[in-house]
Structure 1
């Protein structure tokens, strides 16, 4: 283990500042902002201790850091690239000014005047089944590092001789132009043209251009001097074309060449569907600080709120003690584990420290919604609107506020506004689906949830919402499929498994239903149950009480199977939750039960009838009398007592 010294801090700060400049030069403004915020969060004190292992960080060695240039000009180590950048400088500055003015086509035309071929990526196109460039070998797509098909000609480089910086800006402008045009053609949110049929028509041209460029570099033996930015852009194009495994490889290649482009890490994270895929990809990543940050972020996105992840976060916060990004990650970890009070506290502190920060406020508004904290949510909506009313996060905050007031039509207006600003804004799709469920517009709800999972397949709330909607439509096999997807993403959330168990019951599969309900009981021991979304309940302290409704449903399933002894056993367990776990000598406080509920009263009624049929009249009468005192099922209990007395007086045995 090593010490994080002032030299390390200065070197890392210089590296992050270089990343800010390079990302800004290529108009990757979100990545530039991320790196700048992380740079500012580094400590300035000379002695900062951390258990972070410097040997695993190739970017932070215990050597004197290079001096920080006051002009923030970072020299290019490749003399050929430096010459090309100097040659392109005037045109580059013109192109960048066009990009900043959102004139994407003009920006690209500065370097590439001829129009690139346009057309959708389709299964029949020559680019629809590509492979990652590799060294020469047998098989398809392994021809001198060129992405080709069997019998096809290697792509040629038709691009003018440009610096990598200029080429990236030109092709990225083409990509942004295509995205802008795609949104314009899609027109209204959830309208007739808003769907998968509308694609970015620039993807084919960008793909062919990049293939030719990579092939030319490989042929001339120059691939070792690639900077990683065009690899990042190619990964984006492949991901858009649903060639996800190849996209992963190109993102990995990009972060090896330039680790501090946060956008590449974000794109890679979006392609990981589960923890197994994350564990598989980590060994292929560069062993440095950025991989540690990526692992934390990707784990949070996969809802892994575990002790090792919190320890990773502690390590990073020792290095970046004032990082708002890392504090947000901790708040989201608490949010995913349904510790809403802790998450709210962190978000509240972040808001007070930087009231103009809009990032992740949609998550904060979700927390306040679930906590039914209407005054705080109203205040948050005012703050966000005063800062920037045309940010998707702001629209979601305001939409949640109207939803909490049960003004669902107004909430939908704001969620649609958020999607008009950014059609890939996940929170808005999911939240709009919830609102359509409340408005009983099942068709629109299903379409909203489907768009949410198209944007992010890891959004368990959207999968769960699809299950709920199909359950309302009494399409239980569909509902079962979507509930299972939600449960696979949240295996320790009992609510997911309860929904699966209920669907198994409705499709008449009681054995599977019992197994699933028992899994819900096990999941419930990991954390206290809360709301999946929008129920208004909050997680409290663990009580050691099993969920009585789940126990009751297991008992009913055993009754369906005519296994009445097992059914009675689970009914007794349901009843026992009223008192909670027994106290012992080591724990004077003991457990606290849930008291009498409708579910426990139903279990008591079932047991009273069961005992009477078995001839245990005294026990049956006790249970029936308890029902009269509970104030639940009173009339039915009195009728049962009258029936039992009549049968006992007549000497008849119960049927």
Structure 2
């Protein structure tokens, strides 16, 4: 991506831009974005010899006899004059925000009486324009004449102060929404509480943008922060296409606001959407990081993604954000050992950082590493026991101990602290499945999907729960959603195929199970995903005998004995792990085998296990397949083959009695044939 000279120049620019971003985001109380920028800034290696300080647009506001206050400068002279004039009010408002007195903060610049007057005039003008049956030209002229009266309504203030006031209104609404919400999963908790300030913020910003827009629709003199807030409000109102347009405007005007990029990620549900949006992004390192982060959110694990991450780590070698991405990349490719190693390294470098440790606890849970998970739970509890991530880690620990009621208690505590905590909703659904409370499990999974439509675990959990209730049509729909999000995860397609089999749709079921075989050839299906109790056996390249047996059984029901026999033979061959049994021409499923998204498909054989295939050994599935083949040989008159298979069955220890009866039957047939 960069040569050494470009990289050095980029680092100098990055330091200045990130320093400015930390201060700008902090000034507007966007603390998570400021933290992200500060972590990136400090992860850039510092040169050995002291260098000249980079130019950063920092200015000092001084008053006589007082120490200087460091704030970011503004290149717009009008905005700069307004900021200097209202510095005392701004500092008062920010102190209120920092103390979580959001209404007092907003009232410094936008008292309720002023805001109510602005909104009432906006509503009356809108109603008048709707009621009057004018043509487009006349309506436009009327709006132009009204501009002067509209402009007088909005108090004259800087964009920084306006953003702080409106953002305080937004946070006030969020706080009241949480207060109005019922107890998590209580009898009246429908998840229907809304932020009542969204309408007021939306109307105010629409009016401000209208006044400042030129004929081309561009907002003159805007700095990007108000566009971000407007996009966030539109997103909450489910106007997703419009929200994305305003968020794109924001990142073009100011690309260092990480919160805006995260808001865009939440609106992207498919890789195709990401590719379409990428064409309209500004070309800089933050958009590069955004593409990486969003790809991981969409469970991508391509070699290109790994290469991009390595290039970024060469610039920010100790960045906790990028090290987390590295661990999640290994997690998505089911390389749990590498993911564990990366998270351990991250924990050693940043021992007090709780972000994303809920993902680490999932990995430890799946690997059944109880001592490590116990240590992690104690660590999180000692740092901050009232962080949602800490509650999720402790809940996972209790789940591993099979204390499912305790686990549910901690997941509910995480959701009380943060209703949008995705891990807690999904994992609580898993616990309710263990407790046989299917109604609560379905509700938990549904709420997880409401928070994030990309969570394949929640879709898969819904499918499992409806399958337990024998509602196979519903289960199939949810399984297909999960498989669409993870098209190269054999577990998803196996669930789809098994469900179709139960619905007697054998042809479609065969296609889905063949796709599961192809998916397993791309991923090392070692430990499995984060369902179940963890553990598992590494198959190292052999195909799953259970899937082969199911395919053979469906071919038998379709009266296609030759195909059934071929898959039974392949099933038995997995005991030795015959590499040649993985014949993609045999499991060809035509156009259905290729994903609609080529970038989601990892390189063939890209897993860790590159050595010879290690067989599964004798399993119940291979024994059933051997018994079927023995009986088929009997029906076909191939008695020597039937005797060989029946004798092998006697040694398996699985179908011994039936195998002995078969041996006797074969001997009788052979004696009759000889006589």
Please say if 1:36 is aligned against 2:38. Answer: yes
1:266-281 aligned at under 5 Å gives the runs 266-281=262-277
Q: Which residue of 2 aligns with 1:468?
A: 464
Q: Which residue of 1 aligns with 2:491?
A: 495
Q: Which residue of 2 aligns with 1:625?
A: 647
Q: CA deviation at 1:187?
A: 1.8
User: 2: CA distance between counterparts of 1:646 and 1:444?
Assistant: 59
User: 2: CA distance between counterparts of 1:321 and 1:629?
Assistant: 56
Q: Which residue of 1 aligns with 2:291?
A: 295
Q: Which residue of 2 aligns with 1:445?
A: 441
Instruction: Give CA-to-partner distance per residue, 1:456-505, whole Å, 9 cap, x none.
Output: 11111011000000000000010000000000110110000000000111
CA separation of 1:562 and 1:393: change in aligned 2, threshold 3 A: same
User: 2: CA distance between counterparts of 1:493 and 1:222?
Assistant: 45
User: 2: CA distance between counterparts of 1:230 and 1:428?
Assistant: 32
Q: CA deviation at 1:267?
A: 0.5
Contact persistence 1:251–1:268 (CA under 8 A): yes
User: 2: CA distance between counterparts of 1:474 and 1:638?
Assistant: 37
Q: Which residue of 2 aligns with 1:217?
A: 212
The alignment covers a number of residue pairs equal to 611
Q: Which residue of 2 aligns with 1:52?
A: none
Please say if 1:574 is aligned against 2:571. Answer: yes
Q: CA deviation at 1:311?
A: 0.7
Q: Which residue of 2 aligns with 1:242?
A: 238
Q: Which residue of 1 aligns with 2:130?
A: none
CA separation of 1:507 and 1:386: change in aligned 2, threshold 3 A: same
User: 2: CA distance between counterparts of 1:478 and 1:588?
Assistant: 39
The gaps in structure 2 that reach 5 residues or longer are 61-69, 118-124, 127-134, 582-608
SS of 1:73's partner is strand
Please say if 1:432 is aligned against 2:423. Answer: no
2:514 is aligned, of 512, 518, 529, to 518
User: 2: CA distance between counterparts of 1:394 and 1:423?
Assistant: 15
CA separation of 1:419 and 1:496: change in aligned 2, threshold 3 A: same
TM-score w.r.t. structure 2 length? 0.86
Contact persistence 1:117–1:204 (CA under 8 A): no
Contact persistence 2:422–2:451 (CA under 8 A): yes
Please say if 1:89 is aligned against 2:87. Answer: yes
Contact persistence 2:301–2:332 (CA under 8 A): yes
SS of 1:224's partner is coil
Q: CA deviation at 1:45?
A: 2.3
Q: CA deviation at 1:108?
A: 1.1
User: 2: CA distance between counterparts of 1:412 and 1:348?
Assistant: 26
State the Cα RMSD in Å. 2.9
Instruction: Give CA-to-partner distance per residue, 1:234-268, whole Å, 9 cap, x none.
Output: 11111111110111111111111110000000000
1:526-605 aligned at under 5 Å gives the runs 526-529=522-525, 530-537=527-534, 543-581=540-578, 590-605=612-627
1:77-476 aligned at under 5 Å gives the runs 77-114=75-112, 156=150, 158-218=153-213, 223-476=219-472
Instruction: Give CA-to-partner distance per residue, 1:329-355, whole Å, 9 cap, x none.
Output: 010010111101111111111111221
CA separation of 1:156 and 1:434: change in aligned 2, threshold 3 A: farther
User: 2: CA distance between counterparts of 1:569 and 1:192?
Assistant: 54
Contact persistence 1:7–1:65 (CA under 8 A): no
Contact persistence 1:583–1:590 (CA under 8 A): no
Which shifted more, 444-453 or 574-583?
Answer: 574-583
Contact persistence 2:57–2:73 (CA under 8 A): no
Contact persistence 1:156–1:215 (CA under 8 A): no
CA separation of 1:5 and 1:520: change in aligned 2, threshold 3 A: closer
Contact persistence 1:575–1:603 (CA under 8 A): yes
Q: CA deviation at 1:219?
A: 5.4
Please say if 1:615 is aligned against 2:637. Answer: yes
SS of 1:284's partner is coil
User: 2: CA distance between counterparts of 1:401 and 1:448?
Assistant: 19
SS of 1:223's partner is coil
CA separation of 1:426 and 1:139: change in aligned 2, threshold 3 A: farther
1:12 is aligned, of 5, 11, 14, to 14
Contact persistence 1:156–1:213 (CA under 8 A): no
Instruction: Give CA-to-partner distance per residue, 1:429-462, whole Å, 9 cap, x none.
Output: 0111110011111011101001111111111101
User: 2: CA distance between counterparts of 1:169 and 1:95?
Assistant: 8
Q: CA deviation at 1:581?
A: 1.9
Which shifted more, 253-262 or 155-164?
Answer: 155-164
Contact persistence 1:251–1:264 (CA under 8 A): yes
User: 2: CA distance between counterparts of 1:572 and 1:383?
Assistant: 52
Which shifted more, 332-341 or 621-630?
Answer: 621-630
CA separation of 1:570 and 1:583: change in aligned 2, threshold 3 A: closer
Contact persistence 2:39–2:319 (CA under 8 A): yes
Q: CA deviation at 1:534?
A: 3.3
User: 2: CA distance between counterparts of 1:497 and 1:522?
Assistant: 10
Contact persistence 1:339–1:539 (CA under 8 A): no
Contact persistence 2:366–2:535 (CA under 8 A): yes
Contact persistence 1:85–1:163 (CA under 8 A): yes
Q: CA deviation at 1:94?
A: 1.4
User: 1: CA distance between counterparts of 2:59 and 2:354?
Assistant: 30
Contact persistence 1:155–1:215 (CA under 8 A): no
User: 2: CA distance between counterparts of 1:591 and 1:414?
Assistant: 42
Q: CA deviation at 1:225?
A: 1.5
CA separation of 1:517 and 1:117: change in aligned 2, threshold 3 A: farther
Contact persistence 2:646–2:663 (CA under 8 A): yes
Which shifted more, 360-369 or 604-613?
Answer: 604-613
Q: CA deviation at 1:67?
A: 5.5
Q: CA deviation at 1:293?
A: 0.5
Q: CA deviation at 1:117?
A: 6.8
User: 2: CA distance between counterparts of 1:289 and 1:414?
Assistant: 39
Contact persistence 1:8–1:65 (CA under 8 A): no
CA separation of 1:103 and 1:470: change in aligned 2, threshold 3 A: same
